[in-house]
Amino acid sequence: MTSVAAGEEREGLLDWWRRGTPQARRALLAASLGWMLDAFDVMLLAMVLSSVISDLALTKAQAGLLGTATLLAAAAGGIGFGFFADRFGRTRALMASVLLYSVFTGMCGLAQNLWQFALCRVFLGIGMGGEWASGAALVSESWSARDRGKALGLMQSAWAVGYGAAAVVTAVVLPRFGWRAVFFVGVLPALLVFWVQRHVEEPPLWTERRAKRTAAGAGRAPATAATAVEATADAAPATRFRDLFRGSLGRVTIAVTLMNACTLFGWWGLNTWVPAYLSLPTAQGGIGVSTRVMSGLVLLMQVGMWFGYVTFGYIGDAAGRKRTYITYLLMASILLPLYGAMKDPLVLLALGPFVAFFGTGYFSGFGAITAELYPTSIRATAQGFTYNLGRVASAAAPFIVGSLAASRGFFAAFGVSGAAFLLAAVAWKWIPETKGRELA
d(CA 375, CA 244): 10
State how far the alpha carbon of 343 is from the alpha carbons of 273, 296, 352, 369, 401, in Å: 15, 16, 12, 38, 18
CA 313 and chain centroid, separation: 15
Per-residue confidence (pLDDT) for residue 214, from 0 to 100: 66
Give me the CATH code for the 19-430 domain, please. Answer: 1.20.1250.20
Which string of b and e fits 388-414 if b means at least 16 CB within 10 Å?
bbbbbbbbbbbbbbbbbbbeeebbebb
d(CA 7, CA 12): 10
Question: Taking the domains of the chain in order of start, what are their residue ranges?
Answer: 19-430
Per-residue confidence (pLDDT) for residue 97, from 0 to 100: 86
Choose from 90-104, 158-172, 322-336 the range with maximum mean pLDDT: 322-336
What is the number of H-type helices and E-type strands within the chain? 21, 0
Per-residue confidence (pLDDT) for residue 9, from 0 to 100: 52
Tell me the pLDDT band of 146, cut-offs 50, 70 and 90. Answer: confident
d(CA 313, CA 155): 10
Tell me the pLDDT band of 224, cut-offs 50, 70 and 90. Answer: very low
Task: Tell me the pLDDT of the chain averaged across its residues.
Answer: 84
For residue 11, give every residue at least 6 positions away whose Cβ sits within 8 Å of its Cβ, in sequence order, or none: none
The mean per-residue pLDDT over the stretch 402-426 comes to 93
HSE-CB for 219 with a 13 A CA cutoff: 0
Give percent helix, percent strand, percent coil of the chain, each to the nearest 5.
85, 0, 15
State how far the alpha carbon of 50 is from the alpha carbons of 115, 274, 378, in Å: 18, 11, 42
The mean per-residue pLDDT over the stretch 205-210 comes to 71
Nearest to 155 by CA among 368, 432, 384, 340: 368
Model-wide pTM > 0.75? no
Per-residue confidence (pLDDT) for residue 240, from 0 to 100: 65
Tell me the pLDDT band of 223, cut-offs 50, 70 and 90. Answer: very low
pLDDT over 60 at 229, yes or no: no
The mean per-residue pLDDT over the stretch 351-367 comes to 91
pLDDT over 80 at 61, yes or no: yes
d(CA 304, CA 310): 10
State how far the alpha carbon of 216 is from the alpha carbons of 90, 99, 222, 227, in Å: 21, 33, 6, 9
Helices (H), 144-273: 145-177, 179-185, 192-199, 204-217, 225-235, 237-242, 248-271
Per-residue confidence (pLDDT) for residue 429, from 0 to 100: 93
pLDDT over 60 at 1, yes or no: no
Per-residue model confidence as pLDDT tens digits over 15-45: 888 887 788 888 888 888 888 888 888 889 8
Nearest 5°: the CA angle 302, 323, 269 is: 40
Nearest 5°: the CA angle 375, 377, 379 is: 60
Per-residue model confidence as pLDDT tens digits over 149-170: 788 888 888 888 898 999 999 9
Q: How far apart are the first and last CA of the chain?
A: 26
**CA 62, 68, 70, 76 torsion-angle sign:** negative
Other Cβ atoms within 10 Å of 350 Cβ, number: 12
Per-residue confidence (pLDDT) for residue 239, from 0 to 100: 42
State how far the alpha carbon of 344 is from the alpha carbons of 8, 278, 303, in Å: 44, 10, 20
CA 323 and chain centroid, separation: 21
The mean per-residue pLDDT over the stretch 217-243 comes to 49
pLDDT over 90 at 78, yes or no: no
Stronger pLDDT, 220 or 313, i.e. the higher one: 313
The mean per-residue pLDDT over the stretch 189-203 comes to 80
pLDDT over 80 at 132, yes or no: no
Per-residue confidence (pLDDT) for residue 314, from 0 to 100: 83
